[in-house]
Structure 1
Amino acid sequence: MAEHAPLRLDPLSRRWALLAGAACLLPLLLQLPTALALTIGLSALAVAGLSWRQPLPGLLRLLLALALVGVVLALSKFSVGRDTGCALLAAMIAIKPAETFGLRDARSLLGFALFAPFATFLLDQGPLSLTLGLAAALLALAALQRLAELESGDVARAPSLRQRFVGIGRLLAIGLPLTLTAFWLFPRLGTPLWGIPERTLARTGLSDRMSPGDWIDLLGDDRPALRARFYGATPRPEQLYWRGPVMWDFDGHTWTQPRWQPGFPAAAVEPGAARWDYEIELEPSDRHQLVALDLLLAAPAESQLGPDHNLQATRVLSAITRWRMQSSPPLRYQPRLPRELREYALQLPPGYNPRTLALARQWRHDAGPLGDAAIVTRALDWVRRDFAYTLETPLLGRHSVDEFLFDQQAGFCEHFSSAFVVLMRGAGIPARVVTGYTGGYRNPIGGYWLVRRSDAHAWAEVWLRGRGWTRVDPTAAVAPERIYDTLADRAPGAEGLLGGLGSARSLVDVGDWLRRGWNDFVLGFDANRQQRLLRPLGIDRLDGAALSALFATIAALALLWMVWLSSRNERERDPVLRAWHALGRRYRRLGLAREPHEPAGAWASRVGQTRPDLADALHKLSQRFSDWRYAGAQPGGRAAHALVKALRAHRPSSNRPHAPPRGSAQDSYQGERR
């Protein structure tokens, strides 16, 4: 028996398939690193252009696939992770159009492409990703509908674009109750049963290493790092130092964070009078590092506080998390420094920065053995007098601190904090580098503080007798007139929009406030919040069994709803039939319902015997419906549309016409006849 030849795509059907595939690919590309996204996106455009009229040769397709996979693995440094897997999926979708000319190939393309929006949520769960994913799903369903019409040979009677998307929207609305039920009531686990691979390409953010010049990309990244809401007292902007990694080890070029032995207690702190109670919403970083307002009083649940008050989460922060904390500016922070920690905070690598060490020894000689505070003040005065702040800095050599202090005398926070700590250690003052964020922008709409990655900052801590560890920010000592090409105003949108016709800052405020609401009500809906879902109804908490039973009950009702709507829509798919049945329901309310076996004309005649005032209009409508329903060639287009409008417009009145009063002329006439 001869096999049927594969059904080829017509040009319009192929365009539908390629458009839907591109829409599915777009949200995934937006979450990949720029180099990967550009490589895959340009490859997809090139493949679509080269194969626009005919398939590419098989050997060429194979070479393209191998080359694109090799580029993806090379840019991923041959590491396996979430982003690598997502990039390989995107690469396969990008080259699939090279052979998409048949019906089966088009369905394969759409089937694989629909994995891309779902893969996007492994990298980002924001509202933009969801919106683009929903749009891609709509286009894919529309394309699949077009392919079904092509297979059935019904392309000539294909619905309009509006009708196509209205029908798909109805299908999605049918499944919406079950979707919401699953989101709100499906039992959630505190931790997943399986692990999601980590990302192989690190995000920009705070790290356990710091070298001069490494933060250029970070300082130019305006994406949110955290949002903070204060309950009660709010610190002044100059008190907003968000403490992150603390660097002790220096090899002459790079500062690194030590790995403390487990169980090493946090240093003693005597808090000040001020107390700050706040909640941090931390953006995902794919690290364990947390930040807290300087200084944290106690570690929140699922986190650990190091000896230097470096806060670490017990799990990788691959999603948005919330942390309730309390901090206070310290009066004294570790006023008694153990000998081993003192020696640790004075270590310097031999053979580096001889000019800095010579100057430090001279200052120590001038200040005497108890002149630590005087040396700190002298260093800050030097910065204020001779140094400038700029992002345009050349790479430093072996003696990086010497070059910065005596030759360059210009840089940003990495340079200032590193050089200051080396100078202090050379003078015999225990010191260390602290990194984190400083400041922030208060969103007036939501009343919370937004801290961006570009707010990253590094400062110093020195140990002074009687006070303990004391924060010193040498970057802040730079004279205002010597601050040059900075990132300008960190508050977004300060320049205005459209020549002053609108406030870009207000638009950004609204956008970030909406994103925070999304994080709160969607991404933040975890197992604990699910357990408290029915508290407004007087149910304090649902255990797992009760929640499962409630989910099963509501899901069953939602499924019944879906089945009923689907069967109803199947029976009444045609708009003329729907309008005709709706007309019958209106007459049913008058007690004049049409019997299932009754033809339209017979029904109109029967109604006319009871309600002569309705006979003429109903007879004309039933005649038009019968002609449409049973004629050899059913009228379509405008004729069907006009019939639907006429059926919908006919509204039978429940008021019967008044009968003539007894004794009238007509009664006399009837009596004479009798």
Structure 2
Amino acid sequence: MAELRLPFAAGRRAGDDARAPEGLPPSARRATLLAGASCLLPLLLQLPPSIAALITAVGVGIGLLSWRRPLPSALRLLLVLGLVGAVLVLAGFSLGRDTGCALLAAMFALKPSETYTLRDARSLIGFALFGPFATFLLDQGPWSLVLGLAAVVLALATLQRLAEYESRPDPARAAEPALSPGQRLLSIGRLIAIGLPLALAVFWLFPRLSSPLWGIPDRALARPGLSDSMRPGEMVELLNDETVTLRARFRGAAPPTSQMYWRGPVLWNFDGREWTRSRWIQGLPAAPMRAAGNGWDYELEVEPTDTRDFVALDLPRAAPPGARLTLDHNLYTRRPLSTLTRWQLHSAPPASYEPQLRDTLRRMALSLPEGYNPRTLALAQRWRAEAGADDAAIVRRAMAMIRGEFAYTLATPLLGRHSVDEFLFDHKAGYCEHFSSAFVVLMRGAGVPARVVTGYAGGYYNPVGNYWLVRRSDAHAWAEVWLRGRGWVRVDPTAAVAPERIYDTLADRQPGAGGLFGGIAAATPLFNLSDWLRRGWNDFVLGFDASRQQRMLQPFGVDRLDNHKLVLLFVLFASVAGIWMVWLSSRGERERDPVVRAWRALGRRYRRLGLERQPHEPALAWAGRVAQARPDLGESLLRLSQHFSDWRYAGNGPGRREARALRNELVRALRAHRPGPSGERR
């Protein structure tokens, strides 16, 4: 890797070719490993916990074992093979962005075992800088940016320290930092300021692609979220996840919370244990629906899920551009939702929804596997015999039974083969998966077409930003039954459970009631503010796509920027940024040194005497020339020149404190030396 030259102490000998010591002092090695760990941290936070814990444990263990002596080559080879194999096993041998990033992190965890020289340290830092950049392949949130920037600053500061170490041939002084932490941060800040204008020009003006880059693989490990299948008892992990999944802002009045059902995948097929969606109906046009009222217009901000499904308020009237509406009114996108997306939608409650049910769909909505849940089927058949042809009466009877005899809880036992029988007749307690699954099986057994709908229920209103927040813990499953004359009707058996008999409610997971805010309800305003700031980040940075880029100059009267105009603007601002970079770089480190500035100012003061120092002229040669022309000035100038030369080019310069004191003394002496035109000093 190319050597990165950074500013270092003013005591460095210009053109000194002395070799730096080969071995790293313990302080320099600790700084190198700390910088590497900081670069790896944001990436580890985006990996599955099991993989991140394994890589962390291996990295710490190798760092301790190899601190005093290198590990044998055979052992290192075994560690490489073992760690790579373990990561692939934990990833399920699925290849994608996250698996590739996990392998990158695993390889870096092994680097401390071969970090003993200056070259090794630079190699480790150069490799570690891939960590923050790989993080943005998995997450583009503000915390990833903050951690990534902090890691880059620490890595650059470490490289700067390694450059100082290389410049000092004396091992006794090599380990002593030449710059204070504040000076080092200021120096790194100057380096960042050189490239920042060009980076901003690229972000705002470089023409963006309207579609993802070809060749970038999808994520292999799915994010937690809604699935296209449901097995009762497996949603409990999702119900305890407070991660935000979407934000909704309504234009006008919002529906009551009791009507906030966010519709996701619809599940038709049941094999006795698991519910799955029917793939073949995804290509059919949306079923007819007649709205009851004007409905609601809203903007949906959907967090990445790496799936093609996203939810909408029940029921969406039409699909927005880039998505399509399936037969059962599930929204399906053309590309995986791997980044933050925004959608303009309109939904309305149905007055009638698919009032005519075709025979194929009716058979699907009545299908049950043989040999499962005999007690449930016997109860359903008895209800059918007592109700006659009145399907609505069977629905009411089931809801009355659930309302009077059942309770809601997340602490449910593992169900066996006849899961619905065990839930309805033995346990009589569970959560939405159990209620919706048992209800649909009961309805199908009684001859009432029914299906399971998954999605989210409710939401949290953030008064700071005037929008609704839906988290993964709001995941929900309900039922739809088909009734003659009305079509599909939503029935939520979970909501029928008496509130006083619910053991675990979603209210227990209100912001501020637990998790990050430690159970302090007074922290809810902090949650509101932090999520509002996150939404602003999404809008200002992550939501800046090709469409918004083309419209960004509308406030200045430019309706739309095509790619040609964007390229011209980019070239203009990039040129200005390039001039800025050249100007700052050309000044060099010497221009910022107060001693050198004062020394050059002294040379310019002799211009009035015709004795100005030439750029190529060494300090002592210039002082000798002045002494020949003006003996009255020569003695003091020779002394100052010798003082300056010793300070600037001495092989073993003073430490940081001594250098600062000497620098201040020399600056005062140089500023006090002012030659007049008649020869006197004043």
Shorter-chain TM range is: 0.7 to 0.9
Counterparts in 2 of 1:596 and 1:558: CA distance versus 1, 3 Å:
farther
Distance change in 2, residues 1:582/1:339 (3 Å): farther
Instruction: Tell me if the contact between 2:264 and 2:311 (Cα under 8 Å) persists in the aligned partners.
Output: yes
SS in 2 for 1:326: strand
* Match of residue 478, structure 1, among 458, 482, 497: 497
- Rounded Cα–Cα distance in structure 1 between residues aligned with 2:497 and 2:394: 17
**Aligned with residue 154 of structure 2, among 136, 139, 143:** 139
Give the Å deviation of 1:498. 9.1
TM-score (structure 1 length as normaliser): 0.87
Q: 2:513 touches 2:521 (CA, 8 Å); kept in 1?
A: no
Alignment match of 1:108 (pick from 123, 137, 157) = 123
Aligned-partner residue type, residue 94 of structure 1: A
CA contact (8 A) 1:535 1:541 kept: yes
8 Å CA contact retained: 1:576, 1:643 = no
1:604-628 Cα offsets, whole Å, 9 max, x none, are: xxxxxxxxxxxxxxxxx99997675
Work out which of the residue numbers 406, 409, 413 in structure 2 matches 1:390: 409
The alignment status of 1:492 with 2:511, answered yes or no, reads yes
Aligned position for 1:542: 561
Post-superposition Cα deviations, 1:262-305, rounded to whole Å, max 9, x if no partner, equal 65121111111132110111111111011000010111011111
CA distance in structure 2 between the aligned counterparts of 1:386 and 1:295, rounded to whole angstroms: 31
RCO higher in structure (CA 8 A, sep ≥6)? 2
| 1: CA distance, partners of 2:232 / 2:68 | 54
Structure 1: which 5+ runs fail to align?
601-620, 653-674
1:584–1:593: 8 Å Cα contact kept in structure 2?
A: no
Q: Which residue does 2:33 correspond to in 1?
A: 18
In structure 2, what is the Cα distance between the partners aligned to 1:365 and 1:496?
51
Trace 1:557-596 onto structure 2 (pairs within 5 A): 557-578=576-597
Amino acid at match of 2:451: R
User: Using the alignment, how far apart are the partners of 1:374 and 1:10 within structure 2?
Assistant: 83
Find out whether 1:441 has 2:456 as its counterpart.
no
Decide which of 134, 140, 155 is 1:125's aligned counterpart. Answer: 140
Identify which of 502, 517, 522 aligns with 2:541: 522
**Contact 1:281 1:320 survives alignment (8 Å):** yes
1:151 offset after TM fit, Å?
2.1
**2: CA distance between counterparts of 1:134 and 1:394?**
47
Q: Deviations over 1:534-586 (max 9, x none)?
A: 2222221111112112111211111111011111133414133346668999x
Task: Tell me, in whole angstroms, the C-alpha distance in 2 between the residues paired with 1:390 and 1:502.
Answer: 23
2:218 to 194, 198, 205: 198
Q: TM-score scaled to structure 2, two decimals?
A: 0.86
Contact map agreement 2:594 2:667 (CA 8 A) in 1: no
Q: Is 1:533 the equivalent of 2:552?
A: yes
Alignment of 1:3-14 (within 5 A): 7-14=22-29
1:453 corresponds to 2:472: yes
**What is the deviation of 1:82?**
1.1
Q: 2:575 aligns with which of 544, 548, 556?
A: 556
How far apart are residue 375 of structure 1 and its match?
A: 1.1
The equivalent of 2:112 in structure 1 is: 97
Distance 1:642 1:454 in 2: 62
Q: How big is the shift at 1:444?
A: 1.1
User: Percent of aligned positions with the same letter in both sequences?
Assistant: 64
1:368 aligned residue (375, 384, 388): 388
- Residues 84, 176 of structure 1: CA spacing in aligned structure 2 closer, same or farther, 3 A cutoff? same
Post-superposition CA distance 1:140-168 (Å, at most 9, x none):
11111122222222635722222112101
Q: Within 1, Cα distance between the matches of 2:139 and 2:91? A: 18
TM-superposed CA distance for 1:494, in Å, is: 3.5
SS in structure 1 at match of 2:245: strand
Deviation at 1:594, TM superposition (A): 11
Q: Verify: 1:59 aligned to 2:74, yes or no.
A: yes
Cα shift readout 1:411-431 (whole Å, capped 9, x = no counterpart): 000000000011111111111
Residues 38 and 498 of structure 1: CA distance in aligned 2, closer, same or farther (over 3 Å):
closer
Pick one of 315, 325, 328 that aligns with 2:335.
315
Give the letter for the 1:296 counterpart: P
SS of 1:493 mapped into structure 2: coil
Q: Is contact 1:275–1:327 with CA below 8 Å preserved after alignment?
A: yes
1:251 matched to 2:271: yes
Question: Is the Cα–Cα contact under 8 Å of residues 223 and 306 in structure 2 kept in the other structure?
Answer: yes
CA separation of 1:214 and 1:596: change in aligned 2, threshold 3 A:
same
Distance 1:236 1:389, change over 3 A: same
Distance change (3 Å), C-alpha of 1:495 and 1:191: closer
Confirm or deny that 1:78 pairs with 2:98. Answer: no
Paired letter, 2:141: G
TM-fit CA distance, 1:7: 1.7
Distance 2:27 2:78 in 1: 29
Say which of 280, 292, 295 aligns to 2:300: 280
Rate the CA distance shift 1:246–1:399 in 2: closer, same or farther, 3 A: same
Task: Determine the structure 2 residue equivalent to 1:209.
Answer: 229
The alignment partner of 1:437 has SS state of strand
Q: Which runs of 5+ in 2 are unaligned?
A: 1-18, 620-635, 675-682
* 1:320-469 alignment, distance < 5 Å: 320-369=340-389, 371-469=390-488
Could you give the per-residue CA deviations for residues 229-277 of structure 1, whole angstroms, max 9, x where no partner exists? 1111211111100000001111111110111356512111111113211
Check the 8 A contact 2:595/2:667 in 1, yes or no.
no
Q: Of residues 234, 239, 245 in structure 1, which corresponds to 2:254?
A: 234
Alignment partner, residue 163 of structure 2? 148
Range with bigger deviation, 516-525 or 565-574? 565-574
CA 1:228–1:581: 2 relative to 1, 3 Å: farther
Q: 1:396 to 1:148 in 2, by over 3 A?
A: same
Q: CA deviation at 1:647?
A: 9.7
CA RMSD, Structure 1 to Structure 2 (Å) = 3.2
Give the conservation status (yes or no) of the 8 Å contact 1:576–1:640: no
The answer on 1:40 being equivalent to 2:38 is no
Partner SS for 2:30? helix
Greater Cα offset, 283-292 or 189-198 = 189-198
Contact conserved, 2:273 with 2:417, CA < 8 A, in 1? yes
Q: CA deviation at 1:312?
A: 0.6
- C-alpha spacing 1:548/1:136, structure 2 compared with 1 (3 Å): same
Please give the alpha-carbon distance, in whole angstroms, between the structure 1 residues aligned to 2:423 and 2:609. Answer: 96
Note closer, same or farther for the CA distance 1:52–1:552 as it changes in structure 2 (3 Å cut): same
TM-superposed deviation, 1:593: 13
